[in-house]
Amino acid sequence: MAYCSNEAAREAGCTGTDAEVAAWIGAARERIDAYTQQCFEPTDMAVVADVSAAGLVILPRRVRTVTAVMPVLEADDGPSIPSSAYRVTSSGVLGQIDAIHLMWGGYDDLVAGAESYSGGWLGLWERWGAEQVKVLGSFGYDSPPLGVSLGNALLAAHMQGQATPSDADAAEDPSLQVDDEGNNVAIEDTDDAPSETPVAPSASTGSTQVDGLLAPFLNRGYNLIGGV
């Protein structure tokens, strides 16, 4: 899913065929994802986050739904804890934060170590000594916010402008693929689907204007371990 339309990118200054404009939009989206470390559409993924002494787990993405919470252990992940043992809050609700609140309650006599006579889930968690949890679920915004859509359009035009060779460059290197207007048309990938590989963080999109638009959506200091 693109964060903006071809028309919006053209209005921002991007030129070329529909396929070429779509490719620049896709390239710009990749930079936006790397810069913000955020999901701007519903995305199923797994994230790992630290557990505070009070049992608060601040999640590194806007949470939509949580399907499993499990401790991260040295040998392997522990069993999923029941939903009755935690509470989920989302920044999608005004005044809330994206977090798992481990309430340490309940027990399960069918899970070794979590039996009622062993202290339930709290007793098992203390024996685990886990400092992190893995959370599986759906994360991200319902749709790209206006600032992100505008940033995608502006960045697509900005990146194309930086990549377009001058007349002198084209004359020196005839292998450059340019159209009659002098636009670099070497980019051919029009698949704007998100990559299944987590994008490495970036310090900037390459445009200070776009950086400013995306500043409210920055997500720093977290580690995405898996995405679908």
> What strands, in cross-sheet order, belong to the sheet with 223-227?
63-71, 132-139, 43-50, 223-227
Other C-beta atoms within 10 Å of 45: how many? 19
- Out of 77, 105, 139, pick the residue that ends a domain: 139
Judge if 11 and 86 occupy the same domain: no
Complete DSSP assignment for 117-155: GGTHHHHHHHHHT-SEEEEEEEES-SS--HHHHHHHHHH
Q: Is the pLDDT of residue 107 over 80?
A: no
Whether residue 227 lies inside any domain: the answer is no
The more confident residue out of 107 and 131 is 131
205/208 Cα distance (integer angstroms): 8
Whether residue 149 lies inside any domain: the answer is yes
- Out of 139, 163, 185, pick the residue that ends a domain: 139
Q: Is the pLDDT of residue 193 over 70?
A: no
Q: Is the pLDDT of residue 226 over 50?
A: no
Which domain, by its residues, includes 68?
43-139
Whether residue 128 lies inside any domain: the answer is yes
> Which range (51-65, 98-112, 167-181) has the least confidence?
167-181
- Out of 84, 109, 139, pick the residue that ends a domain: 139
* Token reading at 81: 């804890």
What's the domain count of the chain? 2
